[in-house]
Every structure is written in structure tokens, then in C-alpha cells.
Amino acid sequence: MSRVAVVTGAAGAMGSACAEAIGPRSDVLLLTDRDEPGLAVTAGRLRPDGREVVTVVGDIADPGIIDDLQRRAADLGDLGSLVHTAGVSPSMADWEEILRVDLAGVVRLLDAFVGDVVSGTTAVCLASVSAHMGTFDPAMDTVLDTPLEPDLAARFRSCFGGEPDPGSTYRLAKRGVIRACERAAVAWGAGGGRVLSLSPGLIDTGMGRLELAENPVKEQLAELTPITSPRLGPDPLLPGHTGDIADAVAFLCSDRAAFISGCDLRVDGGLIGAMNQLVDISGADR
């Protein structure tokens, strides 16, 4: 039977790169995005490689679209890979939309596909390096762990202690993604599958540049990142390249990563290590 790879957010720079990276080990690529023209561009670029490319247009946070995607994948063959890159950043949406798309959408997606898991099926969901920054309240983790409850927004606001802002919500939502993938690894593992999260650092994409323009601290974090991707040209705005993420995703979806599940991989050029070192130095000074 055909091996199907599902990629969400496939019209974006990250999703498109991931689709291209995992395409060679798939018989069918099932791509989805709400950006219909962009999705068509990605599909058109990948079809000449000789494999079947199918598209589904819609908002991946919509349960109806997720159900449609699952049915289409099941009709096309066995589920090989599910790579979830779709999401919104703090400059693109308000805090409630970030919770709906970046957290609840991930849980719905993993839940919808668990019944299609066969031996070797792998899901990789993009989180964020921001989910590794700072400290986290266990009470908030409890809220993040149940994102499909109808009162999520109310519970989140109450635990936040005021009106949430998009940046803080994004950081917390991505922490929720990491925790959701840890939990889902148990159910997927029962069918022989694996679930992982991947936390990109500062990647030079349109979304990354938007956040750089809207949030000056991003420039400081870029300067703090110890290494810059050799894939980038001279004087890049941000230190990471989409290919760095795509290659990591391809590895995680491969048989070489067959015993890796239920954890998060940081692909951040050493940023968190550099930040932790600054904290240690600051603490020593006191």
C-alpha cells in the first residue's frame, strides 16, 4: 500500500521545505494550508518529482478540515508521516486565536490520526524555542494540558492573572505543544508510531522577519545565537534557515530515529544554551 506523508502549513516557507525533505521517502504527499494560491505553488513544485501530490485547502484548527484531512489520508494509503508546521505568530493573531490554532489545533490533529497509526508512523509538530525560555507555573501547565475544553480561554485568562498578550500566549501555547506530544507518544506508541515536537530557533522566513520587525528583542536573540546556518548568504537577518528545520524533520521521520519519541528537539543554533549561560553569569554576579 502507498505510504502517505501529510504536511500542514505547506504553503509557508517551513512547511514547503519540510514537504520537499520528506517527499523522497513517501509515495503520496497530502498537503494542506488555508492559503490556496500558495498551496498550489508548493504542490506544483513537488509534482515533477514523480510522486502523487494531493491538496486540501482549509484552516487546520477547524475540526471539520482535520476530519477531512484524516479521511483523505486514509483513502490514499498508510500513514507514514504527519508533519505539522501550520500556526500563527504573535504579530499575526490575538491571544485567543493563538490558543485555538497553535495549541488546540495540534491536539485535535494528533487525536484525529491516532487510529491510522501503523508501525513506523511518525508525527512531528513544530513548537518554538520560546517554549524553553523562562519559568512555568504548574497551574498553567494544567490549563494547557486540556486545550479542547470549551472554557479554555476563560481558564487561561484566570490563570494568567489578567488580559493575556499574544507574545506570552504564544510561548505558553508552544509549551503546551511540547507537553501534548509527550502525552500523544504513549497512544501512538501502542500502534507502533512515534510523536515528537521540534522547537525552531530564529529562522529566516517571512513570519520570522515579521516578528523581528514587530519585536526588537528578536534582534538581540539573533545576535546572541552562537552559530549561523551555513545555508544563509552574507549578513542574514536571522541565523537559521528553513533547510535546517526540514533536514531535522526528515531525520526524525526516518528509520534512523526509530527509538526517538515523546521528546522535543531544539534546532536553535545554541540559543537556549547561550541564554542559560547568561543567567548563570548574572546569578554569580549577585
Sign of CA dihedral 100, 185, 76, 12: positive
CA distance 238 to 218: 9
What integer pLDDT is reported at residue 279 of this predicted model?
66
pLDDT < 70 positions in the chain:
279-286
For residue range 145-190, list pLDDT tens digits in order.
Answer: 999 999 999 999 999 999 999 999 999 999 999 999 999 999 999 9
Which pLDDT score, from 0 to 100, does residue 236 have?
Answer: 83
pLDDT computed for residue 233 by the predictor:
82
Q: In angstroms, rounded to a whole number, what is the distance separating the alpha carbons of residues 3 and 121?
A: 10
Alpha-carbon gap, residue 170 to 89, rounded angstroms: 7
pLDDT for res 231: 93
Looking at residue 186, its pLDDT comes to 98
**In the chain, what's the furthest Cα-to-Cα distance?**
63
Burial of residue 243 (CB within 10 Å: 0-12, 13-18, 19+) is middle
Counting Cβ atoms within 10 Å, is residue 216 exposed (0-12), middle (13-18) or buried (19+)? exposed
State the amino acid at position 89 in one-letter form.
S
Contact between 163 and 157 under an 8 Å Cβ cutoff? The reply is yes
The domains found in the chain, sorted by start residue, are: 3-205+241-269 (3.40.50.720)
CB distance 3 to 27 below 8 Å: yes
